[in-house]
Amino acid sequence: MKWSFKVGRVFGIELRIHITFFLIVIYAAYIWGWGMQKTLGWPGAAYGAFLISVLFLCVVIHELCHSRMAQHYGAEVDSITLLPIGGVSMLKNMPEDPKKELWVSLVGPLSNLVIGALLGIALILVPGKVSAETAEQFVDVISGITLQGFVTYMLIINVLLAVFNLIPAFPLDGGRVLRSILAQYMPYMKATRVAVTTGQVFAFILGIAGFLLGAWIWLIIAVFIYFGAEQEGRGTEVKTVLSKLTAGQAVEANAKALSPGQPLSEVVAIVLHSFQEDFPVIEGDSIVGVLTRANLIAGLHNIGPEAQVSQVMEKDFPIVEASALFSEVYEKMNASGVKAVPVVEGGQLLGMVTLEHLSEVFMLLNSTEKPLQIPS
């Protein structure tokens, strides 16, 4: 994910922090320092920053539980990224069995309930008791800089995180739970559409409530849920449709290959004459790189037409077999960020598949309910 940086690796999963995450830390510092009726100043600001950091540690545990369960079922997990609105696990592939998806979705909220239970035990054991006869007194307790206030606040937030995430609205965990249950009784795509619609209706209601009550954070969450549901639904639809075809059936054959030492000026001439924009780069019998249109433009701008292909080509790229489903090609493109993939058969280059090509194939296959008979 752009604008994020790596802070560690756990169970083979990169832990990343998006640069915007620090906005929520600053906001929490302001609220505890000067944003409440009882001004706590700089000690309150430090406490607020600490509190939100510990809360996001719980979010990391939540996402790690999702990821570890997915790994248990054979899925690949690339990274976990912390955003101001929570954490995002980047799974290269999701278990397609609805029962497996059910467990992958449930373990995250369950982890927050377990943390809440442990904090409840801690609240009983720590010195002093939380005593509040009115709502105002209770707010004073959890907003003060005390051990009891800290434990109580974290307990409440973890329970709320579990409850919120279990709302049956895509892309929340509860939406995935809903889809996995429905998918056991109806087609997967139809179950996805129901979960997406539920998520967007919930987002609309949440957004209206946030606007009327002046709760702007609700509005932000509503926008995230609405467009997140749309993106998840679209991704599932693309994957379902593209699973009808293999890379070998629709590869762009006769793709011209480049050599690492060719200057970009020669590549420009090839593009102008053939309109091919993405190229495999071959040295000997090996595919050593991929030159995309974006690489070419960046190279011309930053170095000049005399630059060699090897200086600007993608060196970390996926290669797919002709037997690979188009849905697998799509997933590999998303995971790698490379929008052009060489297709091979028996070690020999057949051609290229590009993101634009995938889009064209998707539109063709999705334009009819009847299956298209495409020769291999």
3-state SS, residue 75: coil
Provide Rg for the chain, Cα atoms: 25
Q: How far is residue 304 CA from its own chain's centroid? A: 36
> For residues 103 and 109, what is the distance between their CA atoms, to the nearest angstrom?
11
pLDDT mean values, one per 10 residues, the chain (376 residues): 78 86 87 77 88 90 91 85 80 77 92 94 75 65 79 91 90 90 89 91 92 86 88 79 76 83 91 85 89 90 91 89 82 79 85 81 65 47
The residue assigned the tokens 């930053």 is: 302
- β-bridge pairing 4-10 and 13-18: antiparallel
3-state SS, residue 334: helix
| Tokens matching residue 134 | 């009115």
SS (H, E, C) 148-206: HHHHHHHHHHHHHHHHHHCCCCCCCHHHHHHHHHHCCCCCHHHHHHHHHHHHHHHHHHH
> For residues 290 and 258, what is the distance between their CA atoms, to the nearest angstrom?
9
The residue assigned the tokens 């609700």 is: 218
Of all residues in the chain, what percent are helix, strand and coil, respectively (each to 5)?
A: 60, 15, 25
Identify whether the C-beta of residue 168 lies closer than 8 Å to the C-beta of residue 175: yes
Identify whether the C-beta of residue 343 lies closer than 8 Å to the C-beta of residue 320: yes
Query: Measured on CA atoms in the order 125, 129, 133, 138, is the torsion positive or negative?
Result: negative
DSSP strands (E only) in the chain: 4-10, 13-18, 77-83, 86-91, 252-253, 279-283, 286-291, 320-321, 340-345, 348-354
| Tokens matching residue 252 | 């762009």
Identify whether the C-beta of residue 122 lies closer than 8 Å to the C-beta of residue 114: no
- β-bridge pairing 340-345 and 348-354: antiparallel
- β-bridge pairing 77-83 and 86-91: antiparallel
3-state SS, residue 11: coil
> For residues 198 and 93, what is the distance between their CA atoms, to the nearest angstrom?
23
320: amino acid identity, one letter: V
Residue whose C-alpha is closest to residue 189's, from 227, 232, 237, 239: 237
Identify whether the C-beta of residue 4 lies closer than 8 Å to the C-beta of residue 19: yes
Residue whose C-alpha is closest to residue 183's, from 101, 279, 123, 126: 101
Contacts of 36 (CB under 8 A, 6+ apart): 44, 143
The residues with which 82 forms a beta bridge, in sequence order, are 17, 87
